[in-house]
Amino acid sequence: MSEEIKVQLTTQPGEKPDSTNLSFGKFFTDHMFIMDYHKDKGWYDPRIVPYAPIAMDPAAMVFHYGQAVFEGMKAYLTESGKVLLFRPDQNMKRLNRSNERLGIPEVDGEFVIHAIQTLIEVDKSWIPTEKGTSLYVRPFIIATEPCLGVRSSYTYQLIVILSPVGAYYSSGLEPVKINVESSYTRAVRGGIGFAKAAGNYAASIKAQENAKKEGYSQVLWLDAIEKKYIEEVGSMNIFFKIGGTVITPAINGSILEGVTRSSVITLLQEWGVPVEERKLSIEEIYEAYTNGKLEEVFGTGTAAVISPVGELHWNEHTMEINDGKIGEVSQKLYDTITGLQSGHLPDTRNWTLTF
Ligand code: COI
């Protein structure tokens, strides 16, 4: 796609939030990117406009049948005033995998990255620079055709919004408590679990609310069939360090293929830390815990970065991990990933896009 992006600047710039108290996803910048799709025209009319509510027909298919996918990235401002995006090509590949599964038309990933860069340049003054903060980039696609028939929509909108954020968990790098969910199911193979589809998150909310009432930050999902094998946590992939080896569930069709997840696997391999992607049961975790071999547990995600888990609760068992403190590998991964993302560490793997 080569259409030029039109830019309409706001006449009423908003007030910037206090960057020492951002939390996650509560504030939005002055502008957003929008692009339309029609089945006879393809993607068209890319534009940057003032951030504002969007008018939508109440019959728009997204409201009824949930054709909605999204992505998440973080932009950092370096000391020399450049913007860094971490592996945006990977997010675009995943966006198109999600699109394919939900019957949404493919996007030109390179063009969307160009659009994101243009949008960030317009709202560059919104990138927070406080330690632990960044500008979260949220591209999403929704089905906009007004029609109550169940089929793929003929029209869509791709929208990108930007949000200055702090840590995803209010506890920051303090280890979180997680409940292993034994009744509800998030996703099943053959379904949409591997896609970054809005519906996967809708399916997760009830269990998460229940866990929150019991004092847990999130739930750890088990496989839908046997309720035995570890899948992922609500907003992150999960890793376990057992007897010196770091293990994460293999991609199996119902787990999200996280960009941070794959970066962590690469880093661990480079550091010579044994790392395995395989089926991993909750019994194996509990057995490792009882044998004193469960050394570290951490989640990975764009929003969550590296989030240490200090306690896992499964049925009547409570497993305290590393005395509720962040482990050595988790800390090293956190420092390395955030160091690469923010430009404090040299990018030797061509992971960052600088502009
Ligand atoms: C992300 O890590 O970017 C996510 O999309 C997770 C969550 C905030 C839904």
176-342: in CATH 3.20.10.10: yes
Pocket test of ligand 1: the residue of 91, 232, 235, 300 to mutate, having most ligand atoms within 8 Å of its CB, is 235
Fill in the amino acid letter for 160: V
Bridge partners for 240 per DSSP: 247, 297
What are the residue ranges spanned by the domains of the chain? Answer: 6-165, 176-342
Q: What pLDDT is recorded for position 174?
A: 85
Ligand 1 geometric centre to CA of 301 (Å): 7
**What is the per-residue pLDDT for 321?**
96
Atom of ligand 1 nearest to the CA of 304: 2
Identify the band that residue 1 occupies on the pLDDT scale cut at 50, 70 and 90: confident
> What average pLDDT does range 332-342 have in this prediction?
95
Would you say the CATH fold of 176-342 matches that of 6-165? no
**Ligand 1 binding site (Cβ under 6 Å of any ligand atom):** 72, 201, 235, 301-303
Residue 132: pLDDT band by 50, 70, 90 thresholds? confident
Give the pLDDT band (50/70/90) at residue 234.
confident
Query: Model confidence at 259, in pLDDT bands (50, 70, 90)?
Result: very high
- Tell me which residue of 186, 166, 195, 178 sits closest to 305, measured CA to CA: 166
Ligand 1 centroid from CA 42, angstroms: 28
What pLDDT shows up at residue 171?
72
> Which atom, in ligand 1's list, is nearest to the CA of 303?
2
The answer, yes or no, to whether residue 131 has pLDDT greater than 80, is yes
Average pLDDT over residues 11-15: 95
pLDDT (average), residues 128-149:
96
Q: Quick check: helix, strand or coil at residue 232?
A: strand
Per-residue pLDDT averaged across 239-246, rounded? Answer: 97
User: Residue 239: is its pLDDT beyond 80?
Assistant: yes
Q: What does the angle CA 316 – CA 322 – CA 325 come to, to the nearest 5 degrees?
A: 110
Instruction: State the Cα–Cα distance between residues 24 and 87, nearest whole angstrom.
Output: 21
Strand runs labelled E in 182-304: 218-222, 230-233, 237-242, 245-248, 275-277, 294-301
Is residue 169 predicted with pLDDT exceeding 80?
no
What does the pLDDT look like over 71-115, one tens digit per residue? Answer: 999 999 998 999 999 999 999 999 999 999 999 999 999 999 999
CB 335 within 8 A of CB 326: no
Domain 6-165 has CATH 3.30.470.10: yes
pLDDT of residue 168: 84
Percent with pLDDT over 90 in the chain = 92
Answer whether residue 2 shows pLDDT above 90. Answer: no
Position 213 scores a pLDDT of: 94
